[in-house]
Chains A and B, each alone.
Chain A
């Protein structure tokens, strides 16, 4: 298998789609920083092929899906021999897996080989010749694994090798052998036991003896048989005679009995005769009977009708009585009618009463309203008077003020005038008032103000005065208004009182009327409701009238019924009389006829009748009797003739039969014995044959047991398996040693001694060192050789296709210079045979040595792959 192209996406650290094209790569390194995903690339190859990554296991598969992706996909194009295939797998986070395997048809991957896991997986194992585990061992040599093998304890190594070479088949063989051995052992024991116990005494001699016994028995039987024949013949002849004897006795008895029956037969004959005589009388009897019954019927009917008539007459009387009663009651009717009229009148009154009451209510309401209004008006009048008083007071006040102010004004004017005048005074000029020349200017008095002051004072006083006047006038007006209002209110109040008086008067009159009406109503209608009373009365009247009518008609009917009944009774009595007459006539006829026929009465005659069937029967009886007597007599004659005097008793016959029977029994017994003896012989022979078989089988089983015991012992884990393991191991180490020798240019080889693997350094005098003393590089070389050899062995044991590719996960740390040179050379030599070799390493020197590189880097959380083909 040689990979050609790998495409992975969403696979562990390979978040984004990455493609690795293997074409042109022969010997290359897969390098990159730790954790970049170098080993993961190979996991990708494994997953694409097998859907499995052993590192992770089936249960951890889902974790392979990258974070943030919902599925991973891995696709590998690979080549096996000349055929090219492409396998693609996807796996979702939930665990849903899909797979597709195609083959290249020369132009593209056109041939679909399978798209179901259960079909594709075995197909891939078939193509590669290896399952996942073996593939890992053979082609993907993982980190540290082969070093582990090298350094493992012997037991662990054996186990590893054992499982690789599939040596567990020997364990299974051992189990099978053990099972078979146990089964054979049990079988042998069983068979021996059977032979000794059950088949004791089974031999040829026994058979012979048995045969002789049978012979004797057969002889005896012949004798007995002859005797029995003779006895049988005697029995048959005797029984014939016996039969006849018996028959004769029977006939005699029969004849006697027939004779005894004669009287009975005679009486039967008589009966038949009497019946014949009765027949003609039958008609008459029938007639008489009929008449009698008709008479019965008529009398019955007449009686019934008489009863009916009596009843009808009774009914009639009753109904007339009740009619009288009803008429009596009907006398009340006129009174009632009067009452009814009164009630009707009363209903008119009712109307009036209702109206009056209504009016009364209205009036009452009006009165109340008026009272209220009166009260209100009183209040408002009081208010108005108060207002007026207030206004008056105001007026008084205003007037007072006005007077005051007028006085003040006058004073002020005087003062003003004075001052004014004073101002106009000039010395020497005449005074405007008194026209005297002014001699001296007067001085202003205390509290006298200047001219302007006086002016202003005057002005203000004038104003105030004016205002006071105004106020007084207003107050007057207010008073006037108040007076008006008061006057209005007075008027209203009076009107209201008048109204109230009126209303009260009306109400009183209506009330009187109401009382009147109520009284007269009550007189007529106690319940107060004339309508109801009227209807009650009407009903009563109606009822009485109805009753009367009914009674009348009932009485009428009863009369008619009584009449009818009387008529009917008379009619039926007539009929009854006629029927009676006829009946007696017929009876007379019958009696005379019976006498003529010789019968005493009707009873006798009817007893003498016989039905047809009975008559037939009796006549047959009589005839038969006669016939039989004849036959019996004949038979008797014949038997007497044949027997003669010989009579054979039952005794004799029984004796002869007994003898014959006993002989028969003896014969049967002996025959039974014979057949038993013959069966026994047959059984004996059968058993003899089986015993022989059993002996033969026992021999065979014992022989097989010997073999199987040998094998069971050999197949023990420390037997053949250990041997094969040892051989395999030796071969492995030898092959690995040869490889190592070649790879290291004849420097190192391996030896297997005392359960350990030793490394021999030929450059140092063949010094052998244990594997745990090796340096990193040396361990790598040794374990690499072992791994390659193992890979070869695995392939061979699986018959696998030669693996054209090999991937090594180098897994060691730094290398010293010398080892590095050696390792480099070794790696170069690996590429022999055109095999593709990929080496995962992070040692730069190693990486540089190989021209071709696959670089895996991780950035921004996802890994990428780059190929440098050198």
Chain B
């Protein structure tokens, strides 16, 4: 069977004051066309469909239209909630969506409760999909666990993830294409700047060993398209657009999987089309002006200008040259600060006084002076009236 794995669209995202809806539309259009043309059987979306829990209507429209289109093309879709999605909304819409052949999973659940789905295609092929949506650390690990022993808290999360994954995996069948999908951070994955840090981080990593044996493991959450460390058939699809300037240069692609029961899947990556790349420019204003025509379109720009001295109205000047500049940074030569020695952060009053004295009188205070200072300070702290 033919499977398309896509993930991390972040529909509705507002980035540096611009909407990416246009690009999303183009990308989804292209993807839907591909699915139609290639007669894909199954579409797996591993989470972060939307950027916010209450997405704007336009974003919802984009997603709905896509999934209806691919359904019309004959493909089934399974979508799990990512950390940006509201799992309850997904579950609320699940029944309605199922009429359109779209399976929505908001909260994680046991295999028999719908966490493991068995699909029989028209061709008779059977796929068993074990789907584990994003689990907030807070759901599995309480404050007490963290307080007692941070490491054990993290370990607990990993263990629970492993247990959930294993349970779901028990529903795999030898005569089916077994697929596992999850929205999680796997230890060793490379992440960029746009993933939410609190939910990312090696602390909450699940271990690759936790993944159940499947023909293909579809992973979501990390925006850089990559193969998951340690296991050949596990992939992060990555985001559909370059979402942040940390992803400059990344080629975004979705995963096309051809799978048969009992054999490892064949995996191919197909680039997304329709999104504008994010680009960095670094140079002077003049250099920018020179390349304005080339840089001023077909991308979103981060302009870092190297200046010798501060200039006014830089943003206006840059925008005048390139309208697609989202971020304008000014880089000035480093000033060598000749500052009087400052007391360190959290200095004692005595140290403060020594520093002040040095600055005011040009010399360190005598030990007697310091001793008197200490005496006065203690007396003042103790609230005495006279000393």
Footprint of B on A, CB under 8 Å?
2, 23-24, 26-27, 79, 81-82, 169-170, 172-173, 176-177, 179-180, 703-704, 707-708, 710-711, 714-715, 719-720, 723-724, 727, 731, 745, 762-767, 796, 817-818, 820-821, 824-825, 828-829, 831-832, 834, 836, 844-845, 848-849, 851, 870
Contact = CB atoms under 8 A, between A and B. Distances in A.
B152 interface: no
Contacts of B386: 176, 179-180
Interface stretch (B69-77, B160-168, B190-198): B190-198
B196 to A, nearest CB: 6
A764 B138 CA distance: 37
Given A824-B52, A845-B54, A2 B14 contact: no
A825 B15 CA distance: 11
Contacts of B40: none
Nearest to B15: A821
Contacts of A851: 53, 86, 136
B59 interface: no
Contacts of A710: 369
Max count, chain B CB within 10 A of own CB: residue among A23, A180, A796: A180
Contacts of A27: 198
Given A720-B352, A848-B86, A766 B380 contact: no
B377 A765 contact: no
B208 to A, nearest CB: 25
Contacts of B136: 851, 870
Contacts of B66: none
Contacts of A834: 143, 146
Contact of B138 (A24, A177, A766): A24
Nearest to B203: A834
Given A710-B369, A711-B372, A764-B328, A828 B196 contact: yes
Contact of B376 (A711, A767, A829, A831): A711
B142 A24 contact: yes
A766 B138 CA distance: 38
B379 interface: yes
A180 B373 CA distance: 12
Contacts of B373: 173, 711
A820 B359 CA distance: 45
B315 A764 contact: yes
B343 interface: yes
Contacts of A723: 352, 355-356, 359
Contacts of B189: none
Nearest to A796: B346
Contacts of A763: 16, 326-329
A849 B83 CA distance: 11
A2 B326 CA distance: 41
Nearest to B18: A818
Contacts of A767: 314-315
A838 B32 CA distance: 42
Nearest to B19: A817
Contact of B352 (A179, A180, A727): A727
A719 B356 CA distance: 8
A26 B141 CA distance: 11
Nearest to B357: A714
A169 B147 contact: no
Contacts of A179: 386-387
Contacts of B359: 723
Given A727-B343, A831-B198, A849-B53, A708 B330 contact: no
Contacts of B335: none
15 contacts: A27-B198, A169-B349, A176-B380, A707-B369, A711-B369, A719-B360, A723-B359, A731-B345, A763-B328, A765-B315, A765-B329, A767-B315, A821-B13, A831-B198, A848-B54
B353 interface: yes
Contact of B14 (A177, A745, A817, A844): A817
B113 interface: no
B17 interface: yes
A848 B356 contact: no
A173 B143 contact: no
Across the A-B interface, give the 9 residue pairs with the lowest CB-CB distance, nearest first. Answer: A765-B314, A172-B380, A848-B54, A765-B328, A765-B330, A763-B327, A766-B330, A173-B376, A764-B315
Given A176-B387, A708-B372, 6 more contacts: A707-B372, A719-B356, A818-B17, A829-B197, A845-B52, A870-B88
A764 B326 CA distance: 8
A834 B387 CA distance: 47
Nearest to B368: A707
Given A169-B377, A720-B352, A765 B318 contact: yes
Interface in B14-52: 14-17, 51-52
B79 interface: no
A765 B355 CA distance: 36
B181 interface: no
A176 B379 contact: yes
Interface in B109-157: 136, 138, 142-143, 146-148
A710 B376 CA distance: 13
Contacts of B345: 731
Nearest to A171: B380
Contacts of A708: 372
A848 to B, nearest CB: 4
Contacts of B309: none
Contacts of B380: 169-170, 172-173, 176
B305 interface: yes
A169 to B, nearest CB: 5
B14 A818 contact: yes
B34 to A, nearest CB: 30
Max count, chain A CB within 10 A of own CB: residue among B86, B88, B197, B380: B380
B323 interface: no
Contact of B193 (A704, A745, A844): A745
Interface in B319-340: 326-330, 332
Contacts of A745: 193
B327 to A, nearest CB: 4
B289 to A, nearest CB: 15
Nearest to A25: B138
Contacts of A831: 198
